[in-house]
Amino acid sequence: MNIQVAYRIKHRYVAFSILSPAVLSMHEIKDAIERSIIALHGTYGLSKIMPEIIQYDQEDSNGVVRCNRDQVLPLRASMANISIVNGNPVALLVLRVSGTLQALRAGLEKDRRLGNPT
Amino acid sequence: MRSYTDLNLRPRKNTEEAKMMLGIAADIGYSKVAVSFSSEAGKEEIKKTRALCSHVGLDMVTRVDLQPESSGALLKALGNLRGRFEIIAVHCTTKDVSRQAAKDRRVDLLNFPHADPTKRRLYFDHQEAALACKSLCALEIDACSILNNDPVQKARALATMQKETTLAIKLDVPIVVSSGATDRYGLRTPRDLASLLTLVDVDSDSILQAVSEIPARIVERNRAKLQSSFVSPGVRIVG
């Protein structure tokens, strides 16, 4: 039986880019995001935000993380709070937030065409 | 469309890193940045940095950070520097300096630095908030003071900032959030920077004003004051 639309957990997809002198693996980024959320919002906060990296390009240093729809601000704050990963300085910059992956990719493509990296 | 301002960038002088940092600041959505200069900075140095900024499409605002030891030293510095810089931020390290800065209309930003992590820092109290709301000073939250601390210090800093922002909101003192970045890794996108304000209990509906309308208003007001046609607030020579 399908879950009714009203009861389905709704998500937001957050595209981000990484500034760092080191190449960081998806595992390191996932770990850094989760640690930052726990440091700022606790385990309960992590359970509410439910971050999940669903796409990551190690060479281009960008990716997409999914979270609960009403938890974008705590996720953004936690990502902005990351300044060091494995001893390397890091900045995680949120490029775009969207409700569907399709719209997110279209938006990023549009930004790229217009020469606007954000 | 909203335009964003970072009121505190501290790039190292005329280096490749400074160029890259300003380029990234423009790319991630800022239209104005305030570059912090020393009080002895010459016109040539400011001109070079302005050229770097305009090359990447940024509107540069000149800023000076004062850290006087007494209120007398603050008054003297303000007299010398108000006509040269668009933004004046005062680092409040003693009570008499913070009181004087809060009531002086020539001060734009009040900053309470976390200089010595072993001691409790001076904080923005009710009296300063009452003075600041009359003198149009804004309370500056420096993101680097949140980011570059160990967890316990960070928790203490956040607790103090929560009290300060609550007071500022209660007494209508504007709040500004800035990155305080010295290199490109200290930069955050405007919305990311604003999201840090949710950690200090600022309402999510008004956080974006701290990186857009409020800093833009301060810059606009000071630029008008620095024009030769300015006489006093609300009075200027038109003919």
Name the residue ranges covered by the structural domains of chain B: 4-236
Q: Is the pLDDT of residue A117 over 60?
A: no
CB contact under 8 Å between A80 and B193, yes or no, is yes
Q: Model confidence over B142-200: pLDDT tens digits? A: 998 888 667 888 888 888 899 999 999 999 999 999 999 999 999 999 999 999 999 99
Q: Do the bridges between strand B109-111 and strand B87-91 make them parallel or antiparallel, or are there none, so unpaired?
A: parallel
Averaged pLDDT of chain B: 90
The CATH number, out of the four listed (3.30.465.10, 2.60.40.10, 3.30.70.3250, 3.65.10.10), of the domain defined by the range A10-113: 3.30.70.3250
Q: Which of A38, A40, A97, A112 to mutate to test the interface with B (most CBs of B within 10 A)?
A: A40
**Nearest Cβ partner for A19 among B185, B198, B199:** B185
Angle CA(B167)–CA(B173)–CA(B177) in degrees, nearest 5? 95
**pTM for the structure as a whole:** 0.90
Restricting to A residues 72-111, those with a Cβ less than 8 Å away from any Cβ of B are: 73-74, 76-77, 79-81, 83, 89-95
The confidence score (pLDDT) of residue A3 equals 67
Contact B30/B6 with Cβ under 8 angstroms? yes
CB contact under 8 Å between B199 and A40, yes or no, is yes
Using a CB-CB distance cutoff of 8 angstroms, which residues of chain B are in contact with residue A79? 192
DSSP B85: -
Collect all residues with Cβ–Cβ distance below 8 Å to B121 and sequence separation of at least 6. B112, B113, B114, B115, B160
Percent of chain B whose predicted confidence (pLDDT) is above 70: 96
Domain ranges of chain A: 10-113
Q: Does B195 touch chain A (CB under 8 A)?
A: yes
Restricting to A residues 9-38, those with a Cβ less than 8 Å away from any Cβ of B are: 19-20
Using a CB-CB distance cutoff of 8 angstroms, which residues of chain B are in contact with residue A111? none
Tokens of B15: 């280096």
Q: Model confidence over A66-110: pLDDT tens digits? A: 999 999 999 999 999 999 999 999 999 999 999 999 999 999 998
Closest residue in chain B to residue A81, using alpha carbons only? B147
The mean pLDDT value for A5-22 works out to 90
Contact A68/A10 with Cβ under 8 angstroms? yes
Considering only CA atoms, which of B177, B233, B171 is closest in space to residue B200?
A: B177
The confidence score (pLDDT) of residue A118 equals 52
Considering only CA atoms, which of B205, B114, B228, B218 is closest in space to residue B173?
A: B218
What backbone torsions phi and psi does residue B133 show, to the nearest 5 degrees?
Answer: -70, -25
Averaged pLDDT of chain A: 91
Question: Residue A111 — pLDDT band, cuts 50, 70, 90?
Answer: confident
Q: Does B28 touch chain A (CB under 8 A)?
A: yes
Give the residue with greater pLDDT, B193 vs A117: B193
CATH code of domain B4-236 = 3.20.20.140
Contact B35/B62 with Cβ under 8 angstroms? yes
Question: Residue B71 — pLDDT band, cuts 50, 70, 90?
Answer: very high
The runs of H, that is alpha helices, within B35-182 are 43-55, 71-81, 95-103, 126-135, 143-147, 151-170
**Nearest Cβ partner for A80 among B154, B183, B188:** B188
Which run of H or E residues covers position B122? Answer: none
Using a CB-CB distance cutoff of 8 angstroms, which residues of chain B are in contact with residue A61? none
Q: Looking at CA atoms only, how far is residue A94 from chain B in angstroms?
A: 7
The confidence score (pLDDT) of residue A77 equals 95
Reported ipTM: 0.89
Q: Looking at CA atoms only, how far is residue B186 from chain A in angstroms?
A: 7
Closest residue in chain B to residue A76, using alpha carbons only? B192
Contact B14/B49 with Cβ under 8 angstroms? yes
Considering only CA atoms, which of B91, B89, B86, B93 is closest in space to residue B61?
A: B86
The confidence score (pLDDT) of residue A113 equals 80
CB contact under 8 Å between B185 and A90, yes or no, is yes
Q: Is the pLDDT of residue B5 over 70?
A: yes
The confidence score (pLDDT) of residue B154 equals 86
Give the residue with greater pLDDT, A118 vs B216: B216
Considering only CA atoms, which of B108, B82, B124, B90 is closest in space to residue B217?
A: B108
Considering only CA atoms, which of B4, B1, B8 is closest in space to residue B138?
A: B8
Q: Does B182 touch chain A (CB under 8 A)?
A: no
The confidence score (pLDDT) of residue B152 equals 84
